[in-house]
Structure 1
Amino acid sequence: MNLRQLRYFVRVVEAGNMTRAAEQLHVAQTALGMQIRQIEEDLGVALLVRHSRGVEPTKAGSLLHARALSILKTIEETRREIQACEREESEAIRLGITPALMLVAGTEIALMVREKLPQVFLSIVEAMSHVLVEALVRGEVDFILCYDVPDQPQFSRTALLQDDLVLVTPPGPRKGEPIAFVDALDESLAMPEQGDTVRTLASRTARDMGLELNVTYEVRSVSAMKNLVSRGAASSILPYFSVIEEVRAGTLDARPIIMPALRRTLFLASSNQQGPFKNEAGLTGAVRSSLQGLLDALGPLAHPLWVRTA
């Protein structure tokens, strides 16, 4: 049993499904299944119960999952401490960021950290918000810049800004005109998968009104959603910054959603289960400075929040 097999096993248990775990790990399902079976053969005990809905750990599997998390965390902490020994002042930080934010602010963040914090080696990981939260729990990243991080004791959060979502449509006569949320629900929508913060916010708001989303296309890729909208196949609910260029070019329209506004909070978050970082304050300042251009572009759809929460 090796470290890769431990990582594979942890992902299978947390995904609860071999197919989903294989997709997240970017490996073939057959290869993943062989790795899990090899662990079971090495230990001489069944670790998973397989059923029609997916998989569940046995008592032995639950024990291995807990021990594997501890082992992997210790290895990551050891790696970081050893790397820090190379130069006493140096510090390696892994920052998770969403794909849409990466496009509009990721490069600026990397440049700002390089300029203001030359002692920091910044590694950037790109994933959807809900995936980043899970990665932070597992210790795979040190900080995450993403939306709606849950208010839990294990997280330390800095609220950076709130932004209002928009209804994205093909260009039309009501260019840029606000639209009531209930009217937006009449649209055939291309939306992200379940668990995505945009989908969750829109679904929860609709449910509170006794309504539901009319999701015709479920796609993970923002670019795919925008292509569906530009072809007239659907509308979409997205953050404004993900369609700024298309709106400026006149290929898409973005209508602010009102009554109620769909407002999300962007956090820079870390795990309280990790040791303190010497450059945490500097990283927070660099990220805030890097987001100034985004605030300017969002205009009245943005609401800066420079308040520390925990």
Structure 2
Amino acid sequence: MNLKRLKYFVKIVDIGSLTQAADVLFIAQPALSQQLATLEGEVRQQLLVRTQRGVTPTEAGKVLYRHAQLILRQCEQAKLDMEASSRGISGQVSVGLAPGTAAATLSLPLLRKVRARHPGILLYLNENYGTTLSELIMNGRMDLAVLYGDKSVHGLTFMPLLKEELYLVGPASMRRLPENVRLAELAELELYLPRPYNVVRKLVNESFMRAGLNAPRVVAEIESAVTLHALIAEGVGTTILPASMAHEMVSSCKAWCSRIVDPVIEAPLALCQSDHLPLSEPAQAVKDILLELVGEMGSSAALRAIEPSSKVAA
């Protein structure tokens, strides 16, 4: 397949119109149609369906579109890597950091170190939920992500980084529980937790089930870290958070936290990347810095047991 034809095909699908795509590509429409026909002949598949509103890809066209995006991206990165070989590492690197996790504390250190060591790298940071970040990596639209999870998924590979224990967090206006609280004691509490597909929620649900307890009493499902922070600050209710976010919550608003024990619940933090797309040279350099920062983070206060003295008295 010709790379130029793949580029034309991707642009047609993106715009949804042969006429408009021809204008953007500065090529006559008959010539663009001929390029498309040649491509369809090469793959022996109909790739587009013409409608009154424009064109839409067939099922075969959708498959080729996904592959073409990756192929064109890799070709572009290969050019950048070759150009950069004589003047140091440069290029674009996208990194996802799951909010409300230890990953969120990596933003500034990562920016500083990448800027100091590789000023030619343009770093793009995206704070989003793990499911969104993993989909972006799977589709080839993001290089790396630090998120919770360690189970193998087709198209993705996870490198374990560290584990964070889960804590019960409540506002100062509510009765404070002991420094360590048994899981069974949470059975009667009304909790504000993320949706069931969230890794923390899955860990909580699985722990309740293994302990022979009824499902946790979730009164609302909240994905927003900002809303959760406001909820605790206003004394609305309790939640369960990893150590790093629990530490931040206690230090920024009137709240207390208790380490969940019997059993202890640990959330695995991992570095996620594609299992079939090789990292570019700039992305590998950023990955090395990420691993270095995580190594330093392993002994940080955010991941140690939170001292009782940091809790707000009820």
Q: Under a length normalisation based on structure 2, what TM-score does the superposition of the two structures give?
A: 0.70
Is 1:63 the counterpart of 2:51? The answer is: no
1:94 aligns with 2:106: no
Among candidates 290, 297, 302, match of residue 298 of structure 1? 302
Change in Cα spacing, 1:140 to 1:185, as seen in structure 2 (3 Å) is: farther
CA distance, structure 1, for counterparts of residue 300 and residue 51 of structure 2: 53
Partner residue in 2 for 1:2: 13
SS of 1:2's equivalent?
helix
Preserved CA contact (<8 Å) 1:165 1:261: yes
Residue 25 of structure 2: aligned partner:
none
Following TM superposition, by how much is the alpha carbon of 1:77 offset from its aligned partner in structure 2, in angstroms? 2.4
The alignment partner of 1:93 has SS state of strand
301 and 286 in structure 1: CA distance in 2 versus 1, 3 angstrom threshold: farther
Aligned pairs for 1:9-28 within 5 A: none
Q: CA deviation at 1:169?
A: 0.6
Change (3 A) 1:264 1:196: same
- Paired residue for 1:237, among 210, 235, 240? 240
Offset of 1:40 from its aligned partner?
8.3
2:113–2:289: 8 Å Cα contact kept in structure 1? yes
2:23 maps to none
Q: What's the CA shift for 1:180?
A: 1.3
CA–CA separation in structure 2 for the residues paired with 1:193 and 1:209: 21
SS of 1:269 mapped into structure 2:
strand
Letter in 1 for 2:73: E
Q: 2:54 aligns with which of 42, 51, 57?
A: 42
In structure 2, how many angstroms separate the alpha carbons of the residues matched to 1:4 and 1:194? 36
> Residue 192 of structure 1 corresponds to which residue in structure 2?
194
Distance in 2, matches of 1:41 and 1:197, equals 42
Amino acid at match of 2:196: Q
Which of the two has higher C-alpha Rg? 2
Taking structure 1 as reference, are residues 295 and 175 closer, same or farther at Cα in structure 2, changes over 3 Å only? farther
**Distance of 2:299 and 2:226 partners within structure 1:** 22
The one-letter amino acid of 1:109's match is L
Change (3 A) 1:182 1:63: farther
Amino acid in structure 1 at the alignment position of 2:145:
I
1:206 to 200, 205, 208: 208
Write out per-residue CA displacement over residues 165-206 of structure 1, whole angstroms, 9 at most, x where no aligned residue. 111111256466111122223211111123221112212222
Residues 194 and 175 (structure 1), Cα distance of their counterparts in 2 relative to 1, 3 Å cut: closer
- Paired residues of 1:240 and 1:254 also in contact (CA < 8 A): no
| Runs of 5+ unmatched residues, structure 1 | 7-36, 48-59, 303-310
Partner Cα separation in structure 2 for residue 263 and residue 188 of structure 1:
21
Residues 95 and 141 in structure 1, CA contact (< 8 A), matched pair in contact too = yes
Residue 301 of structure 2 aligns to which amino acid in structure 1? A
Are the counterparts in 2 of residues 176 and 253 from structure 1 also a CA contact under 8 Å?
no
1:133 aligned residue: 134
Q: Secondary structure of the equivalent of 2:197?
A: coil
Write out aligned runs for 1:101-112 (5 A): 101=101, 103-112=104-113
Whether the aligned pair in 1 keeps the contact of 2:164 and 2:244 (CA below 8 Å) is no
Task: Could you tell me which runs of 5 or more consecutive residues in structure 2 were left unpaired when the two chains were aligned.
Answer: 1-11, 18-48, 307-314
- Which of 212, 224, 231 in structure 2 is aligned with 1:221? 224
TM-score by length of structure 1 reads 0.71
Question: How many matched pairs?
Answer: 257
CA shift in 2, pair 1:278/1:97, >3 Å: same
- Percent of aligned pairs with the same residue? 17
> Is the contact between residue 112 and residue 290 of structure 1 (CA under 8 Å) also seen in structure 2?
no
Structure 1 counterpart of 2:263 = 260
Is this contact kept in 1: 2:243–2:303, CA < 8 A? no
**Structure 1 counterpart of 2:123:** 122
- Cα shift readout 1:132-159 (whole Å, capped 9, x = no counterpart): 1111111110111111043246434322
Displacement of 1:67 in angstroms is 2.5
- What RMSD in Å do the two structures reach over aligned CA positions? 3.1
Relative to 1, partners in 2 of residues 1:214 and 1:238: Cα closer, same or farther, differing over 3 Å? same
Distance (whole Å) between structure 2 residues aligned to residue 109 and residue 76 of structure 1: 24
